[in-house]
Amino acid sequence: MKKMTITLGQRNYPITISSGLLNHFDSFEPLKKGDQGMLVTNQTLAPLYLSSIRTVLEQGGVRLDHIILPDGEKYKSLASIELIFSELLRKWHGRHTTLIALGGGVIGDLTGFAASCYQRGIRYIQIPTTLLAQVDASIGGKTAVNHQLGKNMIGAFYQPASVIIDIDCLSHLPMRQFSSGLAEIIKYGIAFDFNFFCWLEDNMDSLLRRDIDALSHCISRCCQIKSKIIMDDERDENGLRALLNLGHTYAHAIETETNYIFYLHGEAVSIGMLMAAQTAQKLGLFSRTDIIRIKKLLLRAKLPIQGFHQIDPKSCLLHMMHDKKVMNGKLRLIIPTAIGQSEIYEGIDNEIVLASIKETLMLSMNQ
């Protein structure tokens, strides 16, 4: 078992990583006998895990209610938050109840946001079940729902009371979702940790076989990297946390341009990271050899390195100009300066960005 603590003054919390965690009541700290809880999950996960978790928690003396939401990003909405609130009120949950998020990033973000405002803030626990949520979404306390006019537009910084990462959950995860998580994992290597990138090159086959030891090492390394950044920049204020978004400004443009239909987030991030690397190369900051090295790893992770649905480079650039990081009409982008290193660059010429988008799409297609 691997355990680490996020240290944030009054809001410290543990992250526990192992296989079989959900079978033991002790894993569900800080829940204890006599506590009340509301588990939030979706229609895909409930048949897989709800009854066994209920048994473990009830044997431990927790009074558990649950709510099962429909599955999908479109349900990351204020309407779902209302459903959670109604269920909490109907079942007489007071300020001392605990919400338990069982699911991927959608359920985690929803539950965290509901916890941040129900009766001015109650405790919640994250049980991430996708690879992406285990290495990224469940840690760091960013919670949100989508608005018709924008993704993650309504939310709060609100840290969980613990994060329980049971690697066994990944055995049910569809391959495409698994690869989407691998994109964020590779991002940690490119943006922060050369040795981890090399480890990924050596161990990609084991990860794809979902080998427990390889997954355990990989997930805990990502959690360590993200934890350190959260501890230094909890509220995304000093630029450090922004580095976690390597490739994301490009990726969001791809997702918006294709209406969030054709690409999973990690797939868009895969292409976005290559576009960022291409921009870096044009600025003389990154070598072609390293771009090829990244491409090879992404391909092995079964991720796209080219658009597989029509993407218009100029519209992508326009979407990028609407990014939160744009200042005075100038793009601010996270750019890799070597494998394992990244920086925020301001005032990059739009023509360079446009050429990088075009060339990434075209170069890949010629391969």
Considering only residues 15-74, where is the footprint of ligand NAD by CB under 6 A? Answer: 42, 44-45, 71, 73
For position 209 contacting ligand NAD by CB under 6 A, the verdict is: no
Q: Exactly one of 93, 123, 142, 217 is catalytic; which is it? A: 142
Quick check: 140 binds ligand NAD (CB under 6 A)? yes
Nearest to 161 by CA among 2, 30, 25: 30
Asked if residue 294 lies in contact with residue 190, where contact means CB atoms within 8 angstroms, the answer is yes
* Residue 116 found at the interface with ligand NAD (CB under 6 A): no
Closer to ligand NAD at the Cβ: 45 or 251?
45
| 4 strand-pairing partners | 15
β-strand pairing of 2-6 with 341-346: unpaired
| Gap between the Cα atoms of 313 and 303, Å rounded | 20
Q: Which stretch binds ligand NAD (CB under 6 A): 52-60, 103-111, 269-277, 350-358?
A: 103-111
- Measured in degrees and rounded to the nearest 5, phi and psi for residue 15 equal -115, 125
Question: According to CB under 6 A, which one of 27, 130, 281, 360 is a site residue for ligand NAD?
Answer: 130
- How big is the chain, counted in residues? 367
Rounded Cα distance between 332 and 347, Å, is: 6
| Residue 77: CB minimum distance to ligand NAD, A | 11
| CA distances (Å), origin 233, targets 104, 222, 245, 349 | 24, 16, 14, 28
Which residues line the annotated binding site for NAD(+)?
71-76, 105-109, 129-130, 142, 151
Residue 166 is a binding residue for ligand NAD (CB under 6 A): no
With binding defined as CB under 6 A, does residue 77 bind ligand NAD?
no
Listed ranges 11-19, 23-31, 99-107, 119-127: which one lies at the site for ligand NAD (CB under 6 A):
99-107
**Alpha carbons 126 and 367: distance in angstroms, whole number:** 42
The active-site residue, picked from 33, 90, 120, 259, is 120
> Is 104 a residue that touches ligand NAD (CB under 6 A)?
yes
Q: What is the dihedral of CA 187, 188, 190, 192, to 10 degrees?
A: 150
- Residue 311's contacts (CB-CB under 8 Å, 6 or more residues apart) are 254, 257, 258, 361
Tell me the window of 83-91, 171-179, 234-242, 246-254 that interacts with ligand NAD (CB under 6 A). 171-179
Side-chain half-sphere exposure of 208, counting CA atoms within 13 A: 16
Residue 44 or 306: the one with the smaller Cβ distance to ligand NAD is 44
C-beta of 34: minimal distance to ligand NAD in Å? Answer: 30
Smallest separation, CB 181 to ligand NAD (Å): 7
Q: Which two tokens stand for residue 203?
A: 């161990």
Given the structure tokens 């989508």, which residue do they identify?
146
Q: Which of 76, 241, 295, 332 contacts ligand NAD by CB under 6 A? A: 76
- The least CB distance from residue 129 to ligand NAD, in Å, is 3
> Is position 32 annotated as part of the catalytic site?
no
Using the minimum distance from each CB to ligand NAD, give the nearer residue, 41 or 97: 41
Judge whether 241 counts as a catalytic residue: yes
Question: What's the distance, CA 86 to chain centroid?
Answer: 28
Binding-site annotation, residues for Zn(2+): 184, 248, 265
Judged by CB under 6 A, does residue 290 bind ligand NAD?
no
With 0-12 / 13-18 / 19 or more C-beta atoms within 10 angstroms meaning exposed / middle / buried, residue 295 is buried
Contact positions toward ligand NAD, by CB under 6 A?
Answer: 42, 44-45, 71, 73, 76, 103-107, 109, 129-130, 132-133, 136-137, 140, 142, 152, 169, 172-173, 177, 180, 265
Catalytically annotated residues:
120, 142, 184, 226, 237, 241, 245, 248, 252, 265
